Amino acid sequence: MSLALYRKYRPGSFAEVMGQSHVTEPLRQALTNGRISHAYLFSGPRGCGKTSSARIMARSLNCAEGPTPDPCGVCDSCVALAPNGPGSLDVIEIDAASHNGVDDARDLRERAFFAPVSSRYKIYIIDEAHMVTTAAFNALLKLVEEPPEFVKFVFATTEPENVLQTIRSRTHHYPFRLMSPKALTDLLIKVVAAEGIAVDPSVVPLVVRAAAGSARDGLSVLDQVLASAGPEGVTREGAAALLGVTPDTLLDGIVDAFAAHDAAAVFALLDQVMEGGHDPRRFATDVLERLRDLVILDAVPDAGSTGLLDCPVDQLERMARQASAMGTAGLSRAADLLHSGLVEMRGKTAPRLLLELVCARVLLPAA
């Protein structure tokens, strides 16, 4: 059984963490200077490296040559805490989603005063920290404020505002953020090369868009795409179908019909979308993203060469013609109507009807 890519390529040091230099560099410098806090709070969106960085922090603190920003990777502690390693008795990971009560906090408080088994520090990594109840946080407050000298805490959360303020004020807070498209693209290209599977270059932007800035989500999607590779590798058509992405022919067709105010073509294409089994909400989302790209291309004609848009040259030429045909005002109006339509579609049982009505509004002459 193959290992999931997000586990296989989990970083083992701060130097390997991509797209979070605003966090990793200060942490590395703090380790170099020996200015180590007793408690840290790592916050940010899901899949951006909070828990992995917490494990790296534990590895850096307990390395035989540490505390160090660059774990040696060969001592017993480093081997135990390596990505996919066996783990250490002195690094305790707690899932606060299922261990968030007062009894759990009291148990942790009692165990914390026992010295580490074999390491320099006993480190508690508390994941999903926002799930801890107020009563449990209050039970931990004194320990977090004045822990034994051998105890360190790392709290990881997607919702720092829901972590008790008195706990937050006693930690060093490091906010993680979503990866930029370029950083995520670089990561995916590196993984594809390491996996040795032929992948059409136009597939990577599809995965980047599906990941929405999350490294873990991007690797999970890429894993699924690579698993479907045929003898010729991964094609754009196959990846688009697997990810539910609307084919470019349908997007081009609807935009051209909007530009020409051709109602017959619009509704014929919508019927084709439904007959093809496409989700109306996903289709509307993809059309909105296409309109966004056209707005940018209309405002910045060289958006493709400057990296604002990541599209093949032939597609950029086609999109430039579409942007010119609709104009900035027409593109903005259509995007506004589609955005409002997507909001209306949430939870509705007849999304096709709403999609058709939205498209009918786009076809109306501008006021």
Mean pLDDT across the chain: 91
Q: What is the mean pLDDT of residues 193-205?
A: 91
The string of pLDDT tens digits covering residues 322-349 is 999 998 899 999 999 999 999 988 877 8
The percent of residues above 70 in pLDDT, for the chain, comes to 99
Q: What is the mean pLDDT of residues 232-244?
A: 88
The residues of the chain that CATH labels 1.20.272.10 are 248-363
Q: Please tell me which residue, 345 or 217, carries the higher pLDDT value.
A: 217
User: What is the pLDDT, as a whole number, of residue 2?
Assistant: 77
The residues of the chain that CATH labels 3.40.50.300 are 5-175
Residue 58 has pLDDT above 90, yes or no: yes
Q: What is the mean pLDDT of residues 192-216?
A: 91
CA atoms of 285 and 352, how far apart (whole Å): 13
CATH number listed for the domain at residues 248-363? 1.20.272.10
| 14 touches 53 (CB < 8 A) | yes
85-99, 217-231, 353-367: segment of lowest average pLDDT: 353-367
71-85, 265-279, 313-327: segment of lowest average pLDDT: 313-327
User: What is the pLDDT, as a whole number, of residue 266?
Assistant: 94
The string of pLDDT tens digits covering residues 292-306 is 999 999 888 888 777
User: What is the pLDDT, as a whole number, of residue 247?
Assistant: 87
- Cα(first)–Cα(last) distance of the chain, in Å? 60
| Domain range 5-175, CATH architecture | 3-Layer(aba) Sandwich (3.40)
| 335 touches 292 (CB < 8 A) | yes
Listed residue (296, 345, 336) closest to 320, CA to CA: 296
Residue 313 has pLDDT above 80, yes or no: no
Q: What is the mean pLDDT of residues 14-26?
A: 93
Give the confidence band of 1 by pLDDT, cuts at 50, 70, 90: low
Domain 181-243 of CATH type 1.10.760.10: no
CA atoms of 319 and 311, how far apart (whole Å): 10
Looking at the whole model, is its pTM more than 0.75? yes
Q: What is the mean pLDDT of residues 235-241?
A: 88
For residue 358, give both structure tokens: 């939205």
Peptide bond into 280 cis (omega under 30): no
Residues near 238 by beta carbon (within 8 Å), at least 6 away in sequence = 228, 230
Give the confidence band of 15 by pLDDT, cuts at 50, 70, 90: very high
Give the confidence band of 365 by pLDDT, cuts at 50, 70, 90: confident
The string of pLDDT tens digits covering residues 124-171 is 999 999 999 999 999 999 999 999 999 999 999 999 999 999 999 999
The DSSP result for 2-63, as a single string, is PPPHHHHT--SSGGG--S-HHHHHHHHHHHHHT---SEEEEE-STTSSHHHHHHHHHHHHHS
Residue 55 has pLDDT above 90, yes or no: yes
User: What is the pLDDT, as a whole number, of residue 357?
Assistant: 93
User: What is the pLDDT, as a whole number, of residue 245?
Assistant: 87
The residues of the chain that CATH labels 1.10.8.60 are 181-243
Helix (H, G, I), strand (E, B) or coil at 233: strand
Instruction: Print burial letters for 271-294: b (CB count within 10 Å at least 16), e (below 16).
Output: eebbeeebebbebbbbbbbbbebb
Q: What is the mean pLDDT of residues 104-110?
A: 92
